[in-house]
Structure 1
Amino acid sequence: MSVNNIKDSKVLKDIKEIIPGFIVALVVGLISMILANIVPNVGAATISIFLGMFVGNIFLGQEVFQKGYKFSETDLLSYSIVLLGATLSISTLMDLGFNAVLFVILQMSVTIVGALYIGKKLGFGDNFRYLMAAGNAVCGSSAIAATAPVIDADDKDKGIVITIVNVTGIFLMFLLPFLAGKLYNHETVQTSALIGSTLQSVGQVVASGAMVNQPVKDLSTIFKIVRVVLLVAVVFLFGYLKNKSNVDIIEEEVKDAKGGTVKVPWYVLGFFITCILFSTNIISPDISAFCKQLSNKFEVIALAAIGLKVNIKHLIKQGKAVSLYGLFVGTLQVVAAIILIGILL
């Protein structure tokens, strides 16, 4: 069998494994869009998450669906973010201003220092603490996967940290919109800063922002993208802390889970490219409107997949020390964000 035939066979196999879960996420997403017309105050995004959690935990949580759920969550959400760029001008990004970027950097710094300190007090090893700091400060599972090879973390630590970081993010995903309503009356910049600077994954940011309104969802995603852009700096920081000072060793070991060199995620680059195209009028208003609609639909399907992947039993089974670690770091992030918002925004 030729190399091309082997590759084609693998692609077909991957597609077949993705289809079952993708179809479930698609159906849940479409039902959510229909229900949103009946209860517009709730919104398709919120409905899709809860409906996904119900379907995934009661009926369709089997392994055969998981690859499709993962594709729907990660790939569709990435495409949604790229399409979002086609609806925002450079001036919108510039409107964030120096204070907003400084806010994100300080929030990430507090998270990293706090996660390392809390983990040490709770008796966790260096690798576990570095993974917790990276996952919470930057972008959840992606940051953990990028950091693990640099610090020689084992798969067990990586798996536990990914679980607890996502669990923390799920709770905060529902808490922050409520908290922002009480503190800021859902004012767009402050609410977006709280959500975009705190939640662990891009999906959680989009979901939480969408529970408030469209402007908050869009702006909180931009706050999150600023964090994601800083992923490389965080990975090299932990490589340095592990005394990997030899440049050749760092370059060899800074790999993501697929073995590629760690770099800014493709969807961030895509976001900025489509943003530039829209800002220079290469993307017309009509095309921009179409991109907006398509982005929203991809987003709802992706959020359905996030709900479908939530395993409530796993949330309950987390060990006490690990759960406390996640609770303390999550609390620190929220408190730090509120203080910094009061000072800078």
Structure 2
Amino acid sequence: MSAEQRRERRRTLPRALTTNPLKHKLAPGLAVAAAAVGVAWLVHRTVPGMPFLTAAVILGILAANLPGTRSPVSGVLQPGLEFSGKKFMRLGIVLLGLKLSLFDVAALGWGTLGIIIAIVLLTFLGTLLLGKALKLPGDQPILLATGFSICGASAIGAMSGVTKTDHRDTVVPIALVTLCGTLAIGVLPLLKIPLGLDPVQFGHWVGASVHDVGQVVATAQTAGPAALAGALIVKLTRVLMLAPMVTCVALVRRRRSNNRAGSPSGGPDDTVKLPPLVPFFVAAFMAMIVVRTLGILPPPALGLAGTAQDLLLAAALFGLGSSVRVKSLLQTGGRAIVAAMLSWALIAVLAYGGVQLM
């Protein structure tokens, strides 16, 4: 190498080291996601009945379908928005664990805990069978089942990490679980008196049947603080089911992968990549539950973590919402809409029956 070449290399090397093409690709989408989070917060503050996270996913859907924003969302903004939808969702799920203490779950009693688990399992199996009966494509049946039975979009994000579902294939289940959860905010309070539910019973019903935590709060608070307190503990107990459900699905997927690898049709060079038994972010979610149960973090730290979780999930849901094309959803998602509505009715009925037994 000549002296001139060495000098030229020294001049260009610092620029090469400081230039990160991926960073530049992600920056526009991440900036828009951050701005959307601020707008969603303002919408929530202006209309308290609209949950923060629901506002975020609705803004994402609007951005993907309005003429003025549709082109950049599917173009220069797409890498950053996809990053938000996947990575921020997982970080938000980890921090969600800090909202749940095992002592609060134990305080419900074994009978109530068993009823909640039964509601989750029956809703999961019922929705899975509905999805398969309606011949929903790909992983839609299992993602819908997870979202409706456990905790909405967060659960779908966790399950897609095990099923290895493409980011774009999660948008229909997330859109539908968000739709039904939003409808619950207006519908369930109207049924409180006709069904003869007192505030505590109503709170338990909401916690056992509504999907997202923010939607639970928006629905239950209409019946007062007692309803809200009961709804949150029942809802967070459903969240506790996320880790074992994801692990069970991972076990089934691994067994199927092993069977395919060992089948006579498989050649000696065939390799099957097994899904993780417990994805790292799910293990971290479980660790955060332990941290909260042991009381390691002081209340101010828990408050900051809760705020960070809301912001991360809002950015993730905006990113996921920006993948929804309403025209395509209406053309191809008719069966998925039917499955979602039936699943919503199923969990509402099961939860109502459970409340009568609590």
Q: TM-score, normalised by structure 1?
A: 0.69
- Which residue of the partner structure matches residue 208 of structure 1? 215
**Corresponding position: 1:314 with 2:321:** no
Q: Distance in 1 between matches of 2:25 and 2:81?
A: 10
- Which residue of the partner structure matches residue 208 of structure 2? 193
CA contact (8 A) 1:208 1:217 kept: no
Deviations, residues 133-180 of structure 1 (Å, cap 9, x unaligned): 4223334365356347xxxxxx9xx89974553343232121233343
**Corresponding position: 1:66 with 2:94:** no
Deviation of the 1:103 alpha carbon: 3.5
Instruction: Tell me the amino acid that sits aligned with residue 306 of structure 2.
Output: K
Deviation of the 1:269 alpha carbon: 3.0
**Corresponding position: 1:16 with 2:24:** yes
State the structure with more CA Rg.
Answer: 2
Q: TM-score, normalised by structure 2?
A: 0.67
CA contact (8 A) 2:60 2:322 kept: yes
Q: Distance in 1 between matches of 2:168 and 2:299?
A: 45
Q: 1:255 aligns with which of 246, 251, 274?
A: 274
Counterparts in 2 of 1:338 and 1:73: CA distance versus 1, 3 Å: farther
Instruction: Tell me the amino acid that sits aligned with residue 241 of structure 2.
Output: V
Counterparts in 2 of 1:39 and 1:312: CA distance versus 1, 3 Å: same
Counterparts in 2 of 1:119 and 1:15: CA distance versus 1, 3 Å: same
SS in 2 for 1:230: helix
Q: Distance in 2 between matches of 1:236 and 1:29?
A: 36
SS in 1 for 2:184: helix
Deviation of the 1:26 alpha carbon: 0.6
Q: Distance in 2 between matches of 1:305 and 1:110?
A: 31
CA contact (8 A) 1:132 1:165 kept: yes
Counterparts in 2 of 1:309 and 1:318: CA distance versus 1, 3 Å: same
Q: Distance in 1 between matches of 2:57 and 2:326?
A: 13
Q: Distance in 2 between matches of 1:129 and 1:312?
A: 18
Deviation of the 1:100 alpha carbon: 4.7
CA contact (8 A) 1:278 1:284 kept: no
Q: Distance in 2 between matches of 1:160 and 1:68?
A: 14
Q: 2:103 aligns with which of 91, 98, 102?
A: 91
Counterparts in 2 of 1:100 and 1:64: CA distance versus 1, 3 Å: farther
Q: Distance in 2 between matches of 1:29 and 1:236?
A: 36
Q: Distance in 2 between matches of 1:73 and 1:100?
A: 34
SS in 2 for 1:64: coil
Counterparts in 2 of 1:69 and 1:272: CA distance versus 1, 3 Å: same
Deviation of the 1:24 alpha carbon: 1.0
CA contact (8 A) 2:123 2:346 kept: yes
Unmatched tracts of structure 1, length 5 or more: 1-7, 149-154, 197-204
Q: Distance in 2 between matches of 1:56 and 1:67?
A: 14
Equivalenced residue count is: 309
Please, which moves more after superposition, 136-145 or 281-290?
Answer: 136-145
Deviation of the 1:207 alpha carbon: 4.7
CA contact (8 A) 1:101 1:226 kept: no
**Corresponding position: 1:54 with 2:54:** no
Instruction: Tell me the amino acid that sits aligned with residue 79 of structure 1.
Output: L
Unmatched tracts of structure 2, length 5 or more: 1-15, 147-154, 193-198, 222-227, 264-270
